[in-house]
Amino acid sequence: MYTQGLNNHDATANDTSANSERFQARIDAEERIEANDWMPKAYRRLLIRQISQHAHSEIVGMLPEGNWITRAPSLRRKAALLAKVQDEGGHGLYLYAAAETLGVSREELVDQLLAGRAKYSSIFNYPTLSWADIGVIGWLVDGAAIMNQIPLCRCSNGPYARAMIRVCKEESFHQRQGYEITLTLARGTAEQKAMAQDALDRFWWPCLMMFGPPDSDSQHSDISIQWKVKRFSNDALRQKFVDATVPQAHLIGLEIPDPALRFDEATGHWVYGQIDWDEFRQVLAGDGPCNRDRLAARRKAHADGQWVREAAMAYAEKRRARPAKLAA
């Protein structure tokens, strides 16, 4: 998901001290771990990495959708898209703040992203080539994100869980606006329908990859589940997403680009074809279609904003020095 890179990292926490046992007992009792509470170093590290990857994903995720704000085809769509992308900025902000409770600053986290040392969701390294991409991203990418984020509202880390509750509340309109855009195109002219199908064709597989590597590959998600950071496995969430999405596509007359897709009466699940994990690893390693552009855009925004942040701090400093002269 937004933190799929985590599955590749080690998170060894076989700490057997009394503290560790008490900590696990609190987790097992569904207690929330708060900022000042004792926690194993590995738990702190895992959380910082997961939350910051999630935050970076929100921030980088503004770029592909932001690409269409100036070209939105109606004023209603323009306002909705601007508000949605703004929400993503807000979500990044909430998440950075949650990470900060674990003892890391936003500046450090942003530096990690800009230096290419932090990961973010692979999905945002795909380009938005038509207006239909905006519909399909809202419908599928936000749909996939919600699958992942709802269980995170019960995450063992209090600040992260609270941030996710706020995010989920705000995000409820995102998927609907995406589906509405896609639906309008699917019911529009032949050209519009083709545009919608093309967007689905390009985004379907990358969306399935959002849930991260198959369970058979990731030995380390166990600790995440033991600590109740994660509540469902990658494959379980992926299946849930496919089961929810396939009928939504069919309802509006779009085809899922998977010849192997079939409904299994026995299990009640949609069975999907082979995911191209080589592509996934390539995008995650930095060689997706837009990795370089996305990082370049973030670096430019950061560099261009530096004098502004410095000015704000310098002015605040001056004003502290002469409290009598408050601004009007």
Residues 63-92 that bind other proteins (CB under 8 A): 63, 66, 69-79, 82-83, 85-86, 89-90, 92
Residues 290-309 that bind other proteins (CB under 8 A): 297, 300-309
Q: Which of residues 37-56 bind other proteins (CB under 8 A)?
A: 37-38
- Residue 59 interacts with other proteins (CB under 8 A): yes or no: yes
Minimum CB separation from other proteins for residue 313, in Å? 4
Give the residue, chosen from 25, 28, 103, 105, that forms a contact with other proteins under the rule CB under 8 A.
105
Listed in sequence order, the DSSP H helices in the chain are 18-28, 41-60, 62-66, 75-100, 106-114, 131-136, 142-152, 158-186, 190-209, 221-226, 234-251, 277-282, 291-321
Least CB distance to other proteins at residue 303 (A): 7
Residue 7: strand, helix, or coil: helix
The distance of closest approach from Cβ of residue 262 to other proteins in the complex, given in angstroms and rounded to an integer, is 34
Helix or strand run (H / E) with residue 269: strand 269-271
Q: Which of 154/300 has CB closer to other proteins?
A: 300
Binding mask 144-183 for other proteins (x = CB under 8 A): -------------------x--x---x----------x--
Among 10, 21, 28, 111, binds other proteins (CB under 8 A): 111
Q: How far is CA 212 from CA 187, 195, 222, 288, in A?
A: 33, 27, 14, 15
Name the phi and psi angles at 116, rounded to 5: 80, 15
Q: Does 231 bind other proteins (CB under 8 A)?
A: no
- β-pair partners for 157: 33
Shortest spacing between CB 13 and other proteins, in angstroms: 20
Q: Work out whether the CA dihedral 281, 283, 284, 287 comes out positive or negative.
A: positive
The answer to whether 327 contacts other proteins (rule: CB under 8 A) is yes
Nearer to other proteins, 75 or 260 (CB): 75
Nearer to other proteins, 285 or 312 (CB): 312
Q: How far apart are CA 250 and CA 200, in angstroms?
A: 12
Count interface residues toward other proteins (CB under 8 A). Answer: 71
Q: Does residue number 188 form part of the binding site for other proteins (CB under 8 A)?
A: yes
- Give one word for 320, left, alpha or beta, with left for phi > 0 and alpha for psi -120 to 50: alpha
Q: Does 142 bind other proteins (CB under 8 A)?
A: no
Q: What are 197's two structure tokens? A: 């199908």
Q: Which is nearer to other proteins, 285 or 314 (CB)?
A: 314
Instruction: Compute the Cα dihedral for 218, 88, 148, 48 and give only its sign.
Output: positive
- The answer to whether the CB of 152 falls within 8 A of the CB of 92 is no
